């Protein structure tokens, strides 16, 4: 619906109830969408900066939030309130994927549907008494990204897009511009009368002759340059040999001094502190428990604290890198709880490193996994989750705090994995896998 901004725009359902209310305040658009029920209930709303919400359409119960959007990010939830996806609009660092994982279509009701693509591309489609209407609810796009998504002028219900190519010169425009060029008339006349460009004769008499003396002079000049480079390389080599000899003699006599062309009083022979960096020891690892004693420790752990276990084979490669990042996260967590004056035993979570270098690995056999590092979450001795990814499909350990928050929420709702949980275990080469 492409109309000039009005003070207030109201669209109704075929039943006569109000479905959409677009209110302009100081040229800023506020969008409100209602249900086709009596009384009407506000089911979606967005402000001029794209901040708003979309609720589930469940008339028999409450209307739980389905999609919520702020200036920094958004949350996609299930009907029961579980967080399905949490994302940020702006990247916190270049290596982290940002934005929603994929464009999502939310069918709120037979007359309302919502399309989430990006922060600047939030569209609500409404089917009213006079046909279909499409509203842009996202933030105003003031960032020039330089991609074709910035040139989208229209998106249909079948997800077909129309792109503006105003800066692109078509073939017809190029032909028109060429016809206006004065040189185009001469080219057209040459094509009409079959004119050809002048060519050299068979003897090439009209070309400038090149004699053998000219070539010999060029070759001589190149040889002189090559000889100059060779002499320079030889002189550099001799200076290096002389310097090596002087250094060897000085090493035999500690009291001797070296004259490198500078005065030691003016410029001492030392390495400036700015040319090197001091080695910083890595942060200490959290509590390390062997894989054989881990389950006993988890059974006796506190019942109100989430135990986050990182299973590592202590080998070089990915596990070594993960241990360093795990130690940095442990140090940052201790600094935070120390600042607020909370004891580590009273904190909501605890980081533990499981040493799985001793084979056979009883943890890998118990849960049937062979990928390291693996993260296991216990709460009161019960298994909350086990995975080698965070927040769905992230491998960056900086996303571990969000995964800890999600697991704490599941544990407080008594959502645990069944006892004896294992991943898919292979039966044989012929029978494939069995779900244990």
Task: Indicate which CATH number applies to the domain containing 305.
Answer: 3.40.30.10
Q: What is the DSSP string of 227-284?
A: HHHHHHHHHHHHHHHHHHHHHHHHHH-TT-----SS-TTTS-SS--GGG--PPPPPPP
Q: For 261-408, where are the E strands, in sequence order?
A: 287-290, 306-312, 349-355, 374-379, 382-387
Query: Are residues 15 and 155 both part of a single domain?
Result: yes
Query: Is residue 208 assigned to a domain?
Result: no
Positions of the chain with pLDDT lower than 70, given as ranges: 1-6, 59-61, 91-97, 142-150, 165-170, 178-179, 182-215, 251-280, 425-436
Last residue of a domain, one of 142, 163, 184: 163
Query: Is residue 294 assigned to a domain?
Result: yes
pLDDT of residue 6: 60
pLDDT of residue 383: 92
Q: How far apart are the first and last CA of the chain?
A: 54
Q: In what order do the strands lie in the sheet with 18-25?
A: 8-12, 18-25, 28-34, 42-46, 52-55, 65-69, 73-77, 83-88
Query: Is residue 373 assigned to a domain?
Result: yes
Query: Are residues 158 and 303 both part of a single domain?
Result: no
Query: Is residue 263 assigned to a domain?
Result: no
Inter-residue contact 43 to 65 (CB < 8 Å): no
What domain count does the chain have?
2
Query: Is residue 220 assigned to a domain?
Result: no
Last residue of a domain, one of 111, 130, 163: 163
What is the DSSP secondary structure assignment for residue 143, as one 8-state letter?
-
Query: Is residue 174 assigned to a domain?
Result: no
Structural domain range at position 403: 287-434
Last residue of a domain, one of 163, 183, 218: 163
């Amino acid at each position: 619906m492409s109309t000039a901004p009005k003070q207030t725009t109201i669209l109704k359902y075929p039943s006569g109830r109000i479905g959409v209310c677009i209110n302009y305040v100081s040229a800023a658009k506020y969008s409100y969408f209602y249900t086709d029920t009596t009384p009407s209930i506000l089911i979606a709303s967005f402000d001029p900066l794209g901040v708003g919400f979309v609720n589930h359409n469940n008339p028999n119960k409450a209307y739980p939030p389905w999609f919520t959007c702020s200036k920094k990010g958004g949350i996609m939830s299930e009907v029961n309130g579980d967080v399905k996806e949490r994302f940020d609009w702006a990247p916190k660092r270049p290596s982290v994927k940002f934005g929603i994982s994929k464009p999502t279509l939310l069918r709120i009701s037979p007359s309302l549907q919502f399309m989430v693509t990006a922060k600047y591309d939030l569209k609500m489609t409404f089917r009213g008494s006079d046909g279909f209407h499409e509203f842009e609810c996202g933030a105003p796009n003031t960032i020039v990204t330089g991609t074709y998504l910035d040139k989208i002028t229209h998106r249909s219900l079948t997800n077909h897009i129309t792109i503006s190519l105003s800066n692109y010169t078509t073939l017809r425009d190029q032909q028109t511009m060429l016809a206006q060029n004065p040189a185009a008339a001469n080219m057209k006349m040459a094509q009409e009368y079959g004119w050809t460009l002048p060519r050299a004769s068979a003897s090439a008499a009209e070309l400038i002759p090149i004699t053998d003396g000219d070539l010999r002079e060029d070759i001589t000049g190149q040889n002189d340059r090559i000889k100059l480079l060779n002499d320079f390389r030889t002189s550099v080599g001799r200076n290096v040999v002389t310097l090596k000899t002087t250094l060897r003699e000085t090493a035999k006599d500690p009291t001797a001094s070296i004259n490198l062309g500078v005065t030691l009083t003016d410029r001492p022979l030392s390495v400036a502190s700015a040319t090197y960096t001091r080695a910083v020891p890595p942060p200490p690892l959290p509590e390390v428990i062997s894989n054989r004693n881990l389950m006993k420790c988890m059974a006796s752990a506190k019942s109100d604290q989430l135990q986050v276990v990182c299973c590592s084979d202590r080998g070089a490669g990915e596990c070594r890198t993960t241990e360093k990042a795990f130690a940095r996260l442990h140090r940052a967590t201790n600094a935070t709880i120390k600042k607020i004056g909370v004891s580590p035993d009273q904190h909501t979570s605890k980081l533990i490193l499981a040493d799985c270098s001793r084979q056979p690995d009883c943890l890998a056999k118990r849960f049937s996994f062979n990928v390291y590092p693996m993260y296991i979450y216990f709460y009161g001795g019960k298994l909350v989750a086990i995975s080698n990814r965070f927040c769905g499909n992230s491998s960056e350990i900086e996303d571990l705090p969000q995964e800890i928050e999600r697991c704490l929420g599941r544990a407080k709702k008594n959502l645990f994995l069944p006892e004896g949980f294992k991943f898919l275990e292979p039966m044989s080469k012929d029978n494939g896998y069995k779900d244990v």
